[in-house]
């Protein structure tokens, strides 16, 4: 007890601040029944003097206790212990630990924050609090910046009103699926493809139709086959700039044929251009939507690969005919990307900083890709590498008979996270192959990851005789 008769003893060597110690000790005294409802507490001035803390510290402690319902203030009379309903016993607090992070992560989507320049951090100092939530479709400045960016960088001329800002690609597709009424209708997904997105769309009530893809077969032909079978889908989800996961690009003839099919069939194409900014040694191909901005193609872009996956900032460019429904649903859901994130990204677009950053990291990724490809040449179990012209990952084909799932498991034990191509198939397992994403690791770490992969027992063991 101190001079005030309150059971508060401050420890000035503790890492917990003085305000927090006062709060915790008053709370403890109430919980133990040392302080009873309506007992008066000393004035903040008396408390501050008795404990040798500033008046502000005492005041802030009382304000926090009052805000949490432990005490109440009566104007002119002072502060008193509150009546608290009998509480259920508090559960033992559990601190959530982050998932066990692999030392070397080669899974799709892992990025390297070390590549983001200091100017990005500096840009955050300028943001301020706001009085309103952002427009559900996005801040005007961001929509204008994204429209200009699509026009110059992705060959897709469009107006700011056609841009709809979303919290990541999956939210964008959720909004789209609700707006275009996919529930109960068929939606075609590349197979192999973006399996999580496929599963999400099925959860939205759509019927999944697999669209077999491989680099050699035109996508338009596969779509014509669906139509010939009477299975024209309401929508088809494509990754034309860098097929996910196989890694090839949709050739221009095929692109035009896909557009012609979409116009004829009444189906909507969702063009997921998740990493189309990155290509290596090949001329740029404009986006599919850019070939005909009035075609029924909804372009889906994201900042996850070009800047930072934790921004959760993606965007749709919706052709005018589909826009009213999408804007309506976006309005019902409301804004989901913070105004501050939008403000900083808009500033980066307007100043050209984002384009400069992309140009710089494109060269960095080219070096990383080259290092990965060179390292893979030394691995006997790897018989080929696909999808090397664009994007941030490649597919490494393994010798027949190697069990890719066993390699994934053993690699994980050695601190390396990789994915088997089978994880992206809706069909039965195919020839063994791994997806290797090089966006998150520098050349030295990539070499080390490949060295550990090559050392996995399963890389040499054939579970069945080679064909």
Ligand X SMILES: Cc1ncc(COP(=O)(O)O)c(C=O)c1O
Judged by CB under 6 A, which stretch of 162-170, 342-350, 379-387, 444-452 contacts ligand X?
A: 162-170
Nearest distance in Å: CB 19, ligand X: 39
In residues, how long is the chain?
Answer: 467
Nearest distance in Å: CB 145, ligand X: 17
CB 133 within 8 Å of CB 335: yes
Which residues 200-259 are close enough to bind ligand X by CB under 6 A?
A: 239, 244
Q: Is residue 138 a contact residue for ligand X (CB under 6 A)?
A: no
Judged by CB under 6 A, which stretch of 41-49, 120-128, 301-309, 355-363 contacts ligand X?
A: 301-309
Nearest distance in Å: CB 464, ligand X: 31
CB-nearer residue toward ligand X: 29 or 408: 408
CB-nearer residue toward ligand X: 81 or 346: 346
Reference 239, options 291, 197, 281; nearest CA is 197
Which residues 9-48 are close enough to bind ligand X by CB under 6 A?
A: none
CB-nearer residue toward ligand X: 43 or 170: 170
Q: Is residue 348 a contact residue for ligand X (CB under 6 A)?
A: no
CB-nearer residue toward ligand X: 68 or 199: 199
CB-nearer residue toward ligand X: 263 or 425: 425
Q: How far apart are the first and last CA of the chain?
A: 83
Rounded to an integer, what distance in angstroms lies between the CA atom of residue 149 and that of residue 154?
7
No. of helices (H) and no. of strands (E), the chain: 15, 16
Contacts of 143 (CB under 8 A, 6+ apart): 137, 160, 161, 163, 165
Would you list the DSSP string of 284-335?
Answer: ----HHHH-TTSSEEEEEESTTTT-GGG--EEEE--GGGHHHHHHHHHHH--
Segment holding 397, helix H or strand E: strand 393-398
CB-nearer residue toward ligand X: 108 or 269: 108
Strands 416-417 and 186-191: unpaired
Q: Is residue 314 a contact residue for ligand X (CB under 6 A)?
A: yes
CB-nearer residue toward ligand X: 62 or 274: 274
Total chain residues near ligand X (CB under 6 A)? 14
CB-nearer residue toward ligand X: 220 or 307: 307
Give the CA dihedral 26, 30, 35, 40, nearest 10 degrees: 60
Estimate the share of the chain in helix, then strand, then coil, as percent rounded to the nearest 5.
Answer: 40, 15, 40
Q: Which residues pair with 408 in a beta bridge?
A: none
Q: Is residue 168 a contact residue for ligand X (CB under 6 A)?
A: yes
Q: Which residues pair with 386 in a beta bridge?
A: 395
CA 3 to chain centroid, in Å, comes to: 55
Judged by CB under 6 A, which stretch of 30-38, 143-151, 167-175, 394-402 contacts ligand X?
A: 167-175
Nearest distance in Å: CB 467, ligand X: 31
Burial (0-12, 13-18, 19+ Cβ within 10 Å), 132:
exposed
Judged by CB under 6 A, which stretch of 16-24, 164-172, 363-371, 450-458 contacts ligand X?
A: 164-172
CB-nearer residue toward ligand X: 48 or 434: 434
Nearest distance in Å: CB 167, ligand X: 8
CB-nearer residue toward ligand X: 22 or 313: 313
Rounded to an integer, what distance in angstroms lies between the CA atom of residue 291 and that of residue 307?
26
Which long-range contacts does 248-256 make (Cβ < 8 Å, 24+ apart)? 248/215, 248/386, 248/387, 248/389, 249/282, 249/285, 249/389, 249/390, 250/219, 250/285, 250/288, 251/218, 252/285, 253/218, 254/218, 254/219, 254/220, 255/285, 255/288, 255/291, 256/291
* Of positions 108, 188, 392, 417, contacts ligand X by CB under 6 A: 108
CB-nearer residue toward ligand X: 234 or 270: 270
Rounded to an integer, what distance in angstroms lies between the CA atom of residue 13 and that of residue 416?
42
Give the residue carrying structure tokens 């509150």. 82
Judged by CB under 6 A, which stretch of 168-176, 260-268, 283-291, 329-337 contacts ligand X?
A: 168-176
Name the closest residue to ligand X (Cβ): 168
Judged by CB under 6 A, which stretch of 28-36, 67-75, 165-173, 458-466 contacts ligand X?
A: 165-173
Nearest distance in Å: CB 417, ligand X: 14
CB-nearer residue toward ligand X: 149 or 194: 194
* Of positions 267, 287, 302, 420, contacts ligand X by CB under 6 A: 302
* Of positions 170, 227, 340, 426, contacts ligand X by CB under 6 A: 170
Q: Is residue 194 a contact residue for ligand X (CB under 6 A)?
A: yes
Judged by CB under 6 A, which stretch of 85-93, 94-102, 127-135, 302-310 contacts ligand X?
A: 302-310
Q: Which residues bind ligand X (CB under 6 A)?
A: 108-109, 168-170, 194, 239, 244, 272, 274, 302, 304, 309, 314
């Amino acid at each position: 007890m101190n001079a005030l008769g309150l059971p508060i003893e401050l420890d000035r060597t503790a890492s917990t601040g003085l305000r927090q110690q006062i709060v915790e000790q008053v709370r403890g005294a109430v919980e133990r029944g040392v302080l009873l409802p309506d007992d008066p507490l000393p004035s903040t001035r008396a408390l501050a003097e008795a404990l040798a803390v500033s008046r502000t510290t005492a005041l802030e402690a009382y304000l926090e206790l009052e805000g949490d319902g432990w005490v109440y203030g009566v104007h002119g009379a002072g502060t008193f212990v509150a009546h608290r309903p009998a509480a259920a016993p508090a559960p033992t607090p559990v601190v959530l630990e982050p998932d066990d992070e692999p030392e070397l992560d080669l899974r799709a989507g892992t990025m390297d924050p070390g590549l983001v320049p200091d100017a990005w951090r500096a840009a955050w100092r300028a943001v301020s609090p706001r009085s309103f939530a952002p427009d559900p479709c996005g801040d005007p400045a961001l929509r204008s910046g994204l429209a200009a960016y699509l026009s110059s960088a992705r060959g897709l001329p469009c107006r700011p009103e056609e841009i709809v800002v979303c919290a990541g690609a999956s939210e964008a597709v959720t909004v789209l699926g609700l707006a275009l009424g996919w529930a109960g209708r068929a939606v075609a997904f590349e197979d192999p493809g973006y399996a999580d997105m496929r599963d999400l769309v099925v959860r939205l009530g759509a019927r999944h139709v697999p669209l077999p893809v491989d680099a050699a077969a035109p996508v338009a032909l596969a779509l014509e086959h669906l139509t010939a079978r009477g299975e024209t889908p309401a929508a088809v989800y494509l990754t034309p700039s860098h097929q996910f996961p196989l890694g090839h690009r949709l050739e221009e003839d095929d692109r035009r044929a896909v557009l012609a099919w979409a116009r004829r069939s009444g189906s909507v194409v969702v063009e997921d251009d998740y990493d189309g900014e990155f290509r290596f040694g090949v001329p740029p191909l404009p986006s599919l939507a850019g070939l005909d901005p009035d075609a029924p193609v909804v372009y889906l872009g994201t900042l996850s690969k070009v800047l930072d996956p934790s921004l959760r900032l993606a965007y749709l460019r919706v052709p005018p005919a589909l826009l009213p429904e999408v804007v309506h649903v976006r309005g019902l859901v409301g804004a989901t990307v913070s105004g501050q994130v939008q403000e900083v990204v808009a500033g980066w677009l307007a100043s050209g900083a984002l384009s400069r950053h992309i140009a710089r990291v494109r060269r960095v990724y080219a070096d990383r890709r080259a290092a990965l490809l060179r390292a893979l040449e030394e691995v006997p179990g790897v018989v080929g590498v696909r999808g090397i012209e664009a994007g941030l990952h490649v597919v490494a084909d393994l010798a027949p008979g190697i069990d890719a799932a066993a390699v994934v498991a053993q690699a994980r034990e050695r601190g390396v996270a990789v994915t088997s191509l089978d994880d992206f198939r809706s069909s039965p397992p195919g020839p063994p192959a791994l997806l290797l994403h090089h966006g998150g690791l520098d050349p030295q770490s990539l070499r080390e990851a490949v060295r550990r992969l090559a050392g996995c027992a399963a890389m040499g063991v054939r579970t069945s005789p080679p064909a």
